[in-house]
A and B are shown apart, each in its own frame.
Chain A
């Protein structure tokens, strides 16, 4: 998924027009272990970059997900309610968490591309 941009919190965002799809990286799901539950935001929620927006729970850990950009949540991935294991199986595609309508495209500047993130995750 070379179009993904990554944050230092191990999240990815994929932009289509003014809407970004957000999920966690494959590295993140490996660290978490078997995902058992995802607490998704409400549709319509307005968030600022860095706000806690979701929680992903595994058997042994719970991780906050922070909004990589500011905006309004326009969709959530209901599949995760029935099948949270989707996050483990396909974190960077069908395991997406929510879609957000960007308030400020400039915020994307701070994010990493796939190669930069790969290096970051190794280090």
Chain B
């Protein structure tokens, strides 16, 4: 049950019918809000601009005439529009967000304040480097912290997100092999891997060979060794893996792939379990991307932006994408093209220098924790996940025996015979006031439920979550199916028709006139 006082059943009127909605469609303080295009009016504007002069244009006859179609609104209307629709979003600031592999931890506001300092926010990437020494020093400092935390000698700072970092890492691997005159064609990927891994390998021109897991949920070392030959460019391993388990044979895996001259790419999405406790450099990793928006608290922002710097071994560092921040007697500078020391670089991966705004936030966060605080992140994250596992294992069905790392994996077996699927269970959690955990990932178990609490939940919050999960499980086993199959009933929207959205995609608003004409 939830503590907000909201009924966990839709209320009914005297005849037993579902209660009518309001005349306006609004409910309490929750507003139905139209699209901005439906609210705008011609001639309105929320910005006051200086008057234009009568100067003839110099656009070479390319002046845009005709309507763009953008709606006009005053500032108060715009503010109200966005405030209203924001209230239809769940967020980590509002409650536990136990999405496995996403690391939804608290986003400190100090990070936001620092990122907005004019000396960091109002600097242009193409200013002379003499005018941005502090920015370059900040990037260099963050790079240092990432290298020390991971025990790796080098880091490529420019990738814009985790998947971008994977592409960077795999490209450096291919570049290193080609520099040796070798043409290998395969990359080994555990079957539990996140979809970005095979997608990335494909972009580098590699064929993917999937390696199965053993009974304990780790990559099958014997199968791996059988697959390894000198045509294997690399293995892409996530550690802890996507089942939330530490790959205890990781050193043997590294040795096996190094033994044939291949490389070990580590997907760093689950670094939150290791920070300050384990150094990936000691595991034989050659390249690993770090999701600053996961482990290092930069906000998820509804889907981005992220940042995905990639730590690199000595064997790969020469191939790192440009630009490089370099330091010398005269201070810091940027090596912007692939010449000189950066001659072997794979090239440029995005415009300018990297996700500076996320660097500021991540460094602010790391400095707040320091060498003494960082290990406590991993400890509390792993402790919290195991606490949830320990309390739920007799009610739900954990996929693997033993302890987990920072996330606990369950599957749908505990729902066998109830008529309730993983999806239904997740939707019922919404009615209890919680964002569901990650569902149907990893693909290696049926109806996966991957729960990652992170270290920023209090014990009271964890207990509340656990008690709700126990109650839901009991309810499902008692045959209370409609609580699940019709959920969510109390959210801003009920289940949405995803089939319709995919069969007849409507990907933008269009003015009424067009649709009326089409109907004729």
Contact digits for A56-99, partner B, Cβ 8 Å, 1 yes 0 no: 01011000000000000000000000001100000000000000
CB distance from A40 to the nearest CB of B (A): 16
User: DSSP majority for the A interface?
Assistant: loop
> Which one of B40-48, B55-63, B359-367, B496-504 contacts A?
B496-504
Taken together as a complex, chains A and B put the C-alpha atoms of A33 and B499 apart, in Å, by: 9
Indicate if A46 sits at the interface (CB-CB under 8 A): no
Taken together as a complex, chains A and B put the C-alpha atoms of A36 and B502 apart, in Å, by: 6
Taken together as a complex, chains A and B put the C-alpha atoms of A84 and B500 apart, in Å, by: 11
Indicate if A27 sits at the interface (CB-CB under 8 A): no
B residues 471-520 in Cβ contact with A at 8 Å = 498-499, 502-503
Q: Which residues of B contact A34 (CB under 8 A)?
A: 499, 502-503
Residue of B nearest to A88 (CB): B499
Taken together as a complex, chains A and B put the C-alpha atoms of A35 and B432 apart, in Å, by: 32
Taken together as a complex, chains A and B put the C-alpha atoms of A33 and B503 apart, in Å, by: 13
CB distance from A83 to the nearest CB of B (A): 9
Taken together as a complex, chains A and B put the C-alpha atoms of A59 and B498 apart, in Å, by: 7
Taken together as a complex, chains A and B put the C-alpha atoms of A34 and B503 apart, in Å, by: 9
Q: Which residues of B contact A85 (CB under 8 A)?
A: 503
Q: Which residues of A contact B440 (CB under 8 A)?
A: 60
CB distance from A1 to the nearest CB of B (A): 25
Taken together as a complex, chains A and B put the C-alpha atoms of A101 and B499 apart, in Å, by: 34
A-B contacts at CB below 8 angstroms, number: 16
CB distance from A31 to the nearest CB of B (A): 13
Taken together as a complex, chains A and B put the C-alpha atoms of A85 and B500 apart, in Å, by: 10
Taken together as a complex, chains A and B put the C-alpha atoms of A33 and B498 apart, in Å, by: 11
Q: Which residues of A contact B502 (CB under 8 A)?
A: 34, 36-37, 57, 59
Residue of A nearest to B423 (CB): A60
Residue of A nearest to B504 (CB): A36
CB distance from B389 to the nearest CB of A (A): 27
Q: Which residues of B contact A37 (CB under 8 A)?
A: 502-503
Contact digits for A26-66, partner B, Cβ 8 Å, 1 yes 0 no: 00000001101100000000000000000001011000000
Q: Which residues of A contact B499 (CB under 8 A)?
A: 33-34, 36, 59
Taken together as a complex, chains A and B put the C-alpha atoms of A86 and B498 apart, in Å, by: 17
Q: Which residues of B contact A57 (CB under 8 A)?
A: 502
Q: Which residues of B contact A84 (CB under 8 A)?
A: 503
Q: Which residues of B contact A33 (CB under 8 A)?
A: 499
CB distance from B507 to the nearest CB of A (A): 14
Taken together as a complex, chains A and B put the C-alpha atoms of A60 and B120 apart, in Å, by: 42
Q: Which residues of A contact B503 (CB under 8 A)?
A: 34, 36-37, 84-85
Q: Which residues of A contact B498 (CB under 8 A)?
A: 59
Taken together as a complex, chains A and B put the C-alpha atoms of A36 and B503 apart, in Å, by: 5
Q: Which residues of B contact A60 (CB under 8 A)?
A: 440
Residue of B nearest to A83 (CB): B503
B residues 53-86 in Cβ contact with A at 8 Å = none
Taken together as a complex, chains A and B put the C-alpha atoms of A59 and B502 apart, in Å, by: 7
Taken together as a complex, chains A and B put the C-alpha atoms of A87 and B503 apart, in Å, by: 13
Taken together as a complex, chains A and B put the C-alpha atoms of A59 and B440 apart, in Å, by: 13
Contact digits for B394-426, partner A, Cβ 8 Å, 1 yes 0 no: 000000000000000000000000000000000
Taken together as a complex, chains A and B put the C-alpha atoms of A57 and B502 apart, in Å, by: 9
Taken together as a complex, chains A and B put the C-alpha atoms of A84 and B504 apart, in Å, by: 10
CB distance from B356 to the nearest CB of A (A): 37
CB distance from B446 to the nearest CB of A (A): 13
Taken together as a complex, chains A and B put the C-alpha atoms of A57 and B501 apart, in Å, by: 13
B residues 135-162 in Cβ contact with A at 8 Å = none
CB distance from A56 to the nearest CB of B (A): 12
Residue of B nearest to A85 (CB): B503
Taken together as a complex, chains A and B put the C-alpha atoms of A60 and B423 apart, in Å, by: 12
Taken together as a complex, chains A and B put the C-alpha atoms of A11 and B91 apart, in Å, by: 44
Q: Which residues of B contact A59 (CB under 8 A)?
A: 498-499, 502
B residues 430-451 in Cβ contact with A at 8 Å = 440
CB distance from A64 to the nearest CB of B (A): 14
CB distance from B89 to the nearest CB of A (A): 23
Q: Which residues of B contact A36 (CB under 8 A)?
A: 499, 502-503
Taken together as a complex, chains A and B put the C-alpha atoms of A85 and B498 apart, in Å, by: 14
Taken together as a complex, chains A and B put the C-alpha atoms of A57 and B440 apart, in Å, by: 17
CB distance from A77 to the nearest CB of B (A): 16
CB distance from B143 to the nearest CB of A (A): 39
CB distance from B495 to the nearest CB of A (A): 12
Taken together as a complex, chains A and B put the C-alpha atoms of A60 and B421 apart, in Å, by: 15
Residue of A nearest to B440 (CB): A60
Taken together as a complex, chains A and B put the C-alpha atoms of A84 and B498 apart, in Å, by: 14
Residue of A nearest to B505 (CB): A36
Taken together as a complex, chains A and B put the C-alpha atoms of A108 and B499 apart, in Å, by: 35
Taken together as a complex, chains A and B put the C-alpha atoms of A88 and B327 apart, in Å, by: 63
CB distance from B195 to the nearest CB of A (A): 11
CB distance from B328 to the nearest CB of A (A): 51
Residue of A nearest to B502 (CB): A36
Residue of A nearest to B499 (CB): A34
Taken together as a complex, chains A and B put the C-alpha atoms of A36 and B498 apart, in Å, by: 10
Residue of A nearest to B503 (CB): A36
Residue of A nearest to B498 (CB): A59
CB distance from B301 to the nearest CB of A (A): 26
Taken together as a complex, chains A and B put the C-alpha atoms of A57 and B503 apart, in Å, by: 10
Residue of B nearest to A57 (CB): B502
Residue of B nearest to A60 (CB): B440
Since A36-B502, A84-B503 are in contact, a sample of 14 more A-B pairs with Cβ atoms closer than 8 Å, ordered by chain A residue number, is: A33-B499, A34-B499, A34-B502, A34-B503, A36-B499, A36-B503, A37-B502, A37-B503, A57-B502, A59-B498, A59-B499, A59-B502, A60-B440, A85-B503
Closest 3 CB pairs of A and B: A36-B502, A34-B499, A36-B503
Chain B residues proximal to chain A, CB less than 8 Å: 440, 498-499, 502-503
In the complex, 12 of the A-B residue pairs with CB atoms within 8 angstroms, ordered by the A residue number, are A33-B499, A34-B499, A34-B502, A36-B503, A37-B502, A37-B503, A57-B502, A59-B499, A59-B502, A60-B440, A84-B503, A85-B503
Chain A residues proximal to chain B, CB less than 8 Å: 33-34, 36-37, 57, 59-60, 84-85
